[in-house]
Amino acid sequence: MRSCSAGGGPEAARAHPPEQEATVAEQTPPTYDPRHPSPEHPRRGEAGSRRLTTAQGLRVDDTDRSLTAGPRGPVLLEDHHLREKITHFDHERIPERVVHARGYGARGTFRAYGNAASVTKAAFLATADEETEVFVRFSTVLGSRGSADTVRDVRGFATKFFTREGVFDLVGNNMPVFFVQDAIKFPDIIHAGKPHPHREIPQAQTAHDTFWDFVSQHTESAHMVMWAMSDRAIPRSYRTMEGFGVHTFRLEAADGTTSLVKLHWKPLLGTHSQVWEEAQITQGADPDFHRRDLAEAIDSGAFPQWELGLQVMPDTPDETFEGIDLLDPTNIVPEELCPVQRVGLLTLHQNPDNYFAETEQVAFHVGHLVPGIHVTNDPLMQGRLFSYLDTQLSRLGGPNFAQLPVNRPRAEVDSNLRDGMHQTEVHTGVAVYKPNAVEDDEPTASPEDGFVTLPTPVSGEKGRHHPVSFRDHFTQARLFWVSMSPVEQAHIVEAYTFELGKCFSQEIRTRELSVLARIDTDLAARVAAGLGVPVPPPLEKEGVTGPEEAEPSPALSQLPTEPGRVDGRVVGVLVADGGDLSVVERLRSALGDDGAVVRVVAAHGGEVTSADTALTVERTLLTTRSVEYDAVVVADGTAGTPAGDDARTAVLIQEAFRHGKPILASGDGAQVLAAVGLNGREPGVHVVEQAADVLGPLRQDLAMHRSWERLAALAGVTGR
Ligand code: HDE
């Protein structure tokens, strides 16, 4: 076909010489795999083959300069690439979660042991060796999406199981109880905990008046507050956190028998925490501490693992066990009364490829159930059944969020749900209703193997009830307190004292002290002493009972009773040019196989060298802080060097000491310790002659997580 030339003539033809036109082969877009095979090389397609395009696939000539009328003229509306680029950017954010905004996810698998078959017919639990894909999202509750990881807070532990029977979501926390018994109080506790509305401070913490104003009056939160003031609220890592379903579930076996069940995640690395000062320093030194820790562990092949455990209790008409109301989410069932039976293994082995697409868009729901797992009438759980679907509508912009890759069920989906915002399916057929004769009444319902709600009886008068069995607010708070070791109790005292010390209202402090006085007189006295105020009388509150005398539950304490695994533990080794560098290799070969990481720390970057060795420096005294390490080693040859003499080295050792971490010096490294007053006779501090001797004491200490004797001594308590 001939084209008309309008004034351009031969000139215009030259502007687009035929030989420069793209061939059909070149126009084929490069194939790319959105799940690129290598996370280290997220490049899509062959190097050099990618072309920048608009959202419509048009190749872009220049993305650095806007279209203007002349070199100094205004920008033209006609520049579609500019407008598309800016418009898309303007809309890059979606509303963050109102709670649990800050989180980090990972993919993995769950393998069933098969022993749960006697309790549930859920195939992913009941079938031995069945593997189910999962996506897990860990989170803090109060902070906004950009807040720090290591704040004092509850952690979310939400797991999406892509089972062959549909998606099951276990949307739990790292604490087994909750602040409120009824969902209607959830907005209140969250509003009280969030930053004060007029100034939007403080961020991501409960150390302020409105939180303590609420919980000191709303005493059913006393047990959960005790957990929140314990070391559980400052985990060392997501990998060392327990998880809990919190509510009691009703499980149904294939033969129709039902049980009341509490669900637990037990980390194979043990349950460990930071200490408070360490957590605070980490917030500044590395606000991404927990997500980095998880991502690096997975990248390095040290896959975190948890066992799923069940506490199985009889399904009695009153739904209690040993006098504990199983519908009250402020109650635990002590493991000593009902042991946790392990029924499967969760392994996280893949980091998300894209934070937004996966971690931000994953949508959990307590109502995502599979046959064999049922909810109960726990009023908190019932409210959640409403909330999660509702929140996804505003967060993910419509009802089709299950079609997002991260949420897409692996079981076949054939619903009559149609259209709506962000519909990505191209549905065919016309009979989108039932009954239909047009398409043989398909898809058909499955009364035999579909989800059938249990015919549990329901009766009673409508009303805003407050069951008598929900009125004991203090027995389990006391149970938690008396189950803690002396050093853990000291940390709880410190946490209450810190948080109440940050409150301005004396009335609020006094009221909370009266709550503590009701739980335990020693606890109240110690917090009051720290605040410098008298202990008020125990709180009197109409209609509220407890505490009854409580038997300690040793399972609640995090103190290791025996050495644990050291995977993912980080040892920082301070070395200097000309010093003994062999200690690094020794530690790496001895601890590396167990998944521990040994990092070289020096006064300068680049390499440190000695007679015949050169080591790459991974951290300098400028870029590091003690919180990165679970143990600190000072190598021989550092004394009298810039590394040994630096004031930051003294801070590093002092912090590691205060945080109960193993510290070891070999050779003249002892002088570096001596400069901060340590002589190797303190608990968990070791001075050895030579590099060959470092391993013994270090491994033992690392496996116990901290020097508990030292932490106890620092806290001024006897016993561990
Ligand atoms: Fe949630 N919760 N919650 N919650 N929750 C949300 O749902 C809510 C509760 C938990 O990583 C929201 O998708 C109500 C208990 C986790 O995406 C929201 C009540 C437990 C996550 C919501 C509770 C949890 C959420 C916000 C009182 C422990 C993060 C974004 C009845 C068992 C999931 C979203 C993720 C998230 C409501 C109480 C755990 C607003 C109304 C108890 C781990 O729907």
| Pairwise CA distance, residues 498 & 493, whole Å | 9
Smallest CA separation from ligand 1 atom 7, residue: 388
In this structure, are residues 241 and 104 in contact, taking their beta carbons and an 8 Å threshold? no
Task: Determine the length of the chain.
Answer: 720
How many helical (H) and strand (E) elements, i.e. helices and strands, does the chain have? 20, 20
| Pairwise CA distance, residues 209 & 606, whole Å | 49
Residue 257: how many other CB atoms lie within 10 Å: 12
For every residue of 96-153, DSSP letters joined together read PPSSS-SEEEEEEEEEE-SGGGGT---HHHHSTT-EEEEEEEEEESSS-TTS-TTSSS
649 CB less than 6 Å from ligand 1? no
**What is the four-CA torsion angle of 417, 420, 421, 424, rounded to 10 degrees?**
50
| Pairwise CA distance, residues 252 & 161, whole Å | 18
Q: Among the atoms of ligand 1, which is closest to the Cα of residue 391?
A: 44
What tokens were used for 376? 């109960």
Convert 535-577 into a string of H (helix), E (strand) and C (coil).
Answer: CCCCCCCCCCECCCCCCCCHHHCCCCCCCCCCCCCEEEEECCC
Residues assigned a catalytic role: 100, 173
| Pairwise CA distance, residues 211 & 188, whole Å | 10
In this structure, are residues 400 and 392 in contact, taking their beta carbons and an 8 Å threshold? no
- Ligand 1 mutation target, pool 360, 362, 384, 401, most atoms within 8 A of CB: 384
| Pairwise CA distance, residues 259 & 116, whole Å | 12
User: Which residue type, as a one-letter code, is found at position 260?
Assistant: L
What tokens were used for 630? 């679970």
pLDDT of residue 43: 56
173 CB less than 6 Å from ligand 1? yes
| Pairwise CA distance, residues 421 & 330, whole Å | 39
pLDDT of residue 688: 93
Q: Among the atoms of ligand 1, which is closest to the Cα of residue 390?
A: 44
Q: Which portions of the chain are predicted below pLDDT 50?
A: 6-38
How much distance in Å is there from the Cα of 388 to the middle of ligand 1? 7
Q: What are phi and psi of 278, to 5 degrees?
A: -60, -45
Looking at residue 259, the DSSP 8-state letter turns out to be E
Count Cβ neighbours within 10 Å for each residue of 238-254 and write b for 16 or more, e otherwise.
Answer: bbbbbbbbbbbbbbbbe
Query: In the block, which residue shows the tokens 């500044």?
Result: 284
Query: For residue 387, what are the contacts with CB-CB under 8 A and spacing of at least 6?
Result: 183, 186
| Pairwise CA distance, residues 123 & 131, whole Å | 10
Q: Which residues are annotated as a binding site for heme?
A: 97, 137, 186, 384, 388, 395
What tokens were used for 503? 């409150």
389 CB less than 6 Å from ligand 1? no
Q: Which residues are annotated as a binding site?
A: 97, 137, 186, 384, 388, 395
| Pairwise CA distance, residues 152 & 227, whole Å | 11
User: Which residue type, as a one-letter code, is found at position 360?
Assistant: E
- The burial class, CB within 10 Å (0-12 / 13-18 / 19+), for 686 is buried
pLDDT of residue 13: 40
Query: For residue 658, what are the contacts with CB-CB under 8 A and spacing of at least 6?
Result: 275, 277, 714
Query: Which H helix or E strand runs over 264?
Result: strand 258-267
What structural domains does the chain harbor? 80-203+238-403 (2.40.180.10), 570-715 (3.40.50.880)
| Pairwise CA distance, residues 528 & 491, whole Å | 15
Q: Among the atoms of ligand 1, which is closest to the Cα of residue 100?
A: 29
pLDDT of residue 693: 79
Q: Among the atoms of ligand 1, which is closest to the Cα of residue 185?
A: 27
- The burial class, CB within 10 Å (0-12 / 13-18 / 19+), for 673 is buried
In this structure, are residues 376 and 366 in contact, taking their beta carbons and an 8 Å threshold? no
What tokens were used for 440? 């043989």
What tokens were used for 329? 């989410």
**What is the four-CA torsion angle of 567, 573, 578, 583, rounded to 10 degrees?**
-40
159 CB less than 6 Å from ligand 1? no
Which of 225, 123, 233 is CA-nearest to residue 173?
Answer: 233
In this structure, are residues 102 and 118 in contact, taking their beta carbons and an 8 Å threshold? no
| Pairwise CA distance, residues 122 & 128, whole Å | 12
What tokens were used for 424? 């990505």
